[in-house]
């Protein structure tokens, strides 16, 4: 696929929602992290899902959160450090981002992160129903061109998959700095009766909650003068 998102996928296949997977060639240290840390923390989707998903983690965890498209991992690492009782599954196909998280896992001895270095939709199909208490999709690729809108990751199919894996009372957080994508997200959520948008006042979606650290893409939006939307849904 080229960076423009034009590939030869047929309409019946799941459309690719991400751009490039590789940046610069890996340094020796990065290659070592990839070869030694990733196999230790990667989720094996060929294995049967463990009866209790908490068994995926070596540290003792009481619930599982899922982050889709963690980019440079700022939010994932922050949440893992601030919520040691939670097992965090992060999904990201962009190798440079995965390496940043592997580096943090290695240097900061983080035991409560598992990684899928590929498409999160594979993990969603693999996870048992009701196994997740929080899910995050933060600043997904905007795919602004009209012909690429169908590549937007957040759509009714993704929300249905998230509603399946979220436990009753669990929470889904979606963030975007693109007004038109916020509309896409809310329209998709209207189709999904198992997700209830929790906003009661404008500040509920205009202000980032204190336990939602800023990501690299949000920081870029701030620098470029764009406001962001912080959408929170309860699984009902």
Ligand X SMILES: C[S@@+](CC[C@H](N)C(=O)[O-])C[C@H]1O[C@@H](n2cnc3c(N)ncnc32)[C@H](O)[C@@H]1O
Q: Select 61 or 158, whichever has its Cβ closest to ligand X.
A: 158
Sheet holding 132-138, edge to edge: 113-116, 86-91, 63-68, 132-138, 166-176, 229-235, 195-197
Three-state DSSP state, 46: coil
Residue (112 or 228) nearer to ligand X, CB = 228
Report the distance separating Cα 191 and Cα 186, nearest Å: 9
Neighbours of 115 (CB within 10 A): 23
Taking contact as CB under 6 A, which single stretch among the options 80-88, 99-107, 116-124, 177-185 is the one that binds ligand X? 116-124
The least CB distance from residue 180 to ligand X, in Å, is 15
Compare residues 53 and 176 and give the one whose CB is closer to ligand X: 176
Hey, which residues between 51 and 80 contact ligand X (CB under 6 A)? Answer: 68-72
Catalytic residue among 6, 106, 122, 141: 141
Angle formed at CA 16 by CA 10 and CA 17, multiple of 5 degrees: 145
Q: Interface with ligand X includes 148 (CB under 6 A)? A: no
Interface with ligand X includes 17 (CB under 6 A)?
A: yes
**DSSP-assigned letter for residue 77:** H
**d(Cα 18, Cα 14) in Å, to the nearest integer?**
12
Nearer to ligand X, 76 or 195 (CB): 76
- 141 flagged as catalytic: yes
- Two tokens at 150? 């169908």
Which residues between 167 and 226 bind ligand X (CB under 6 A)? Answer: 215-218
- The window from 41-49, 57-65, 136-144, 201-209 that contacts ligand X (CB under 6 A) reads 136-144
What is the Cα–Cα distance from 20 to 5, expressed in whole angstroms? 9
Cite the active site residues. 141
- Positions touching ligand X (CB under 6 A) are 17-18, 68-72, 91-94, 97, 119-121, 138-141, 153, 215-218
């Amino acid at each position: 696929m080229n960076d423009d998102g034009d590939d030869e996928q047929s309409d019946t296949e799941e459309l690719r929602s991400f751009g490039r997977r590789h940046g610069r060639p890996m340094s020796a240290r990065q290659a070592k992290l990839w070869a030694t840390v990733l196999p230790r923390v990667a989720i094996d989707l060929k294995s049967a899902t463990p009866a209790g998903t908490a068994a995926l983690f070596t540290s003792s965890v009481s619930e599982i959160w899922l982050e889709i498209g963690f980019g440079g991992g700022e939010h994932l690492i922050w949440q893992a450090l601030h919520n040691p009782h939670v097992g965090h599954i992060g999904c990201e196909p962009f190798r440079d981002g995965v390496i940043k998280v592997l580096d943090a896992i290695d240097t900061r001895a983080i035991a409560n992160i598992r990684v899928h270095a590929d498409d999160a939709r594979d993990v969603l199909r693999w996870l048992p129903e009701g196994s997740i208490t929080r899910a995050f999709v933060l600043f997904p690729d905007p795919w602004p061109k009209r012909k690429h809108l169908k590549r937007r990751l957040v759509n009714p199919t993704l929300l249905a998959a998230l509603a399946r894996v979220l436990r009753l009372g669990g929470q889904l957080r979606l963030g975007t700095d693109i007004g038109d994508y916020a509309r896409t997200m809310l329209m998709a959520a209207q189709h999904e009766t198992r997700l209830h948008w929790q906003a009661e006042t404008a500040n509920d979606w205009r202000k980032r909650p204190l336990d939602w650290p800023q990501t690299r893409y949000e920081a870029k939006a701030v620098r470029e003068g764009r406001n962001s939307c912080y959408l929170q849904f309860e699984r009902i």
